[in-house]
């Protein structure tokens, strides 16, 4: 019997994965682990500098290789590797390396890990800034959280970022979408063919052990990478609006704010007298989450789904968040916590849930059930593999049916190629 060669996967990372720093890093590790269960050989490459909290991929049997932007050495590297699947981590990596992949390995399946739609997040950030300008004293954002998909399209359609991002989606064979709402936005408003998109949310093992009970929990927790603009805005909103309201009703309450890459502007908010503790990076995010009674996630803009809220469910920690925080994370069943629109309502919900043992315990169990219904790795992992394998089998017809993508590759890759070659030549003369 002849052994079939293992599937070769090349990942081109925007950054080296840091699963304990961001949901994007955690999602990438879940994808890699899914590939490893298939016995696939994985090489992870990136032009980025090594991060402070980078995962040690080599211990998992994943090869690591630093690559350079605008350098033809990548061509030799990928020709020798001859991958069957190339996964671009964020659309910027497809822009930089997509034409080289097509030139050197035209038969490799090209997959885009979108993480979230950055053009949607950027448009919402701009809408939030416009709202604050016109309503400087408002602390209720119900109108901000209520746009329909048509309104999202109107705000995104003329932006360069949306054109770049959606062009990359067309140029790839499959794009992994963490949010099913974003799939609807792309298919219903931008007319992206559904065959180019695959729903791949966070993939987790639903908890089976008993959670720490209400009596063993104390304090509030907020967690998230400080480099991520929605997280930083949420911290400021808590500091200036939500937390003073909570402390009025719970004078002894304590809020622990954790985040990777804590800047001086964040540590300056640390005030133990107010019960507001900026704790820097959490060595074990699940441990601190499991000790908290409530997870606060008052996000006023953003996209994708929220790793902090998935972690909260994994730890049996009810949450208080906004419609942006809960977006695309739940289903028709009750949310494992409370969702509100404004500072007063969020603070009231946080205090009520913190004190109501029965409602808190119910929310804890609802989180366990939601993870099992929607985020089970045992279901989502095989579905991802099947999607990629089916696409590989039918790759010729799949690409033929995506004429727009073929056209975009023809034109965009030429301009990107010439620009890259010009930069490389210019660098050699410096």
CA distance 62 to 53: 17
pLDDT at 29: 96
pLDDT at 1: 41
430 residues of the chain, pLDDT tens digit each: 445 679 999 999 999 999 877 888 899 999 999 999 999 999 999 999 988 789 999 999 999 999 999 899 999 999 999 999 999 999 999 999 999 999 999 999 999 999 999 999 999 999 999 999 999 888 889 888 877 899 999 999 999 999 999 999 999 999 999 999 999 999 999 999 999 999 999 999 989 899 999 999 999 999 998 989 999 999 999 999 999 999 999 999 999 999 988 899 999 999 999 999 999 888 889 999 999 999 999 999 999 999 999 999 999 999 999 999 999 999 999 999 999 999 999 999 999 999 999 999 999 999 999 999 999 999 999 999 999 999 999 999 999 999 999 999 877 655 666 666 666 666 766 5
For residue 92, how far is the Cα from the chain centroid? Answer: 15
Running DSSP on this structure, what letter comes out for residue 49?
P
For residue 362, how far is the Cα from the chain centroid? Answer: 28
CA distance 82 to 5: 12
pLDDT at 22: 81
pLDDT at 426: 66
Burial class (CB in 10 A: 0-12, 13-18, 19+), 212: middle
Instruction: Please list the residues that pair with 339 across neighbouring strands.
Output: 321
- How far from 341 is each of 89, 198, 344, CA to CA, in Å? 33, 31, 9
pTM of the model: 0.93
Residue-range domains of the chain with CATH: 8-119+148-203+377-429 (3.40.50.2000), 214-374 (3.40.50.2000)
Torsion-angle region of 275 (φ positive above 0: left; ψ -120 to 50: alpha; else: beta): left
For residue 424, how far is the Cα from the chain centroid? Answer: 32
Task: State both tokens at 125.
Answer: 């950030």
Nearest-10 crossing angle of helices 23-37, 377-393:
70
């Amino acid at each position: 019997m002849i052994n079939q060669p293992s599937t070769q996967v090349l990942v081109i990372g925007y950054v080296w994965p840091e699963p304990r720093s961001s949901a994007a890093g955690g999602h990438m590790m879940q994808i890699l682990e899914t590939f490893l269960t298939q016995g696939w050989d994985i090489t992870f490459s990136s032009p980025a500098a090594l991060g402070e909290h980078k995962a040690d991929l080599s211990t998992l049997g994943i090869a690591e290789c630093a690559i350079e932007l605008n350098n033809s050495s990548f061509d030799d590297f990928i020709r020798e590797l001859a991958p069957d699947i190339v996964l671009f981590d964020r659309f910027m990596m497809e822009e930089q390396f997509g034409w080289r992949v097509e030139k050197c390995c035209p038969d490799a399946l090209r997959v885009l890990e979108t993480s979230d739609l950055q053009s949607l997040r950027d448009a919402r950030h701009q809408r939030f800034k416009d709202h604050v300008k016109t309503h400087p004293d408002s602390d209720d954002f119900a109108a901000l959280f209520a746009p329909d998909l048509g309104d999202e399209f109107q705000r995104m359609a003329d932006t360069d970022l949306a054109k770049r991002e959606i062009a990359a989606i067309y140029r790839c064979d499959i794009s992994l979408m963490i949010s099913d709402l974003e799939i609807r936005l792309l298919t219903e408003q931008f007319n992206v063919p559904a065959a180019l998109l695959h729903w791949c949310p966070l993939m987790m093992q639903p908890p089976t052990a008993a959670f720490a009970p209400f009596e063993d929990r104390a304090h509030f927790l907020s967690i998230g990478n400080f480099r991520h603009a929605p997280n930083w805005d949420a911290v400021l909103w808590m500091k200036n609006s939500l937390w003073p309201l909570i402390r009025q009703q719970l004078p002894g309450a304590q809020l622990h704010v954790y985040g990777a890459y804590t800047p001086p502007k964040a540590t300056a908010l640390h005030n133990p007298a107010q019960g507001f503790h900026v704790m820097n990076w959490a060595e074990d995010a699940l441990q601190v989450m499991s000790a908290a009674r409530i997870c606060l996630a008052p996000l006023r803009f953003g996209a994708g789904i929220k790793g902090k809220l998935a972690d909260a469910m994994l730890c049996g920690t009810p949450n208080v968040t906004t419609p942006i925080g809960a977006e695309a994370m739940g289903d028709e069943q009750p949310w494992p916590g409370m969702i509100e629109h404004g500072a007063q309502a969020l603070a009231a919900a946080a205090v009520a849930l913190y004190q109501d043992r029965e409602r808190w315990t119910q929310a804890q169990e609802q989180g366990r059930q939601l993870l099992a219904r929607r985020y089970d790795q045992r279901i989502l992992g095989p579905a991802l593999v099947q999607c990629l394998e089916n696409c590989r089998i039918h790759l010729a017809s799949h690409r033929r049916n995506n004429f727009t993508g073929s056209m975009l590759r023809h034109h965009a890759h030429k301009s990107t190629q010439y620009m890259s070659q010009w930069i490389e030549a210019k660098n050699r003369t410096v």
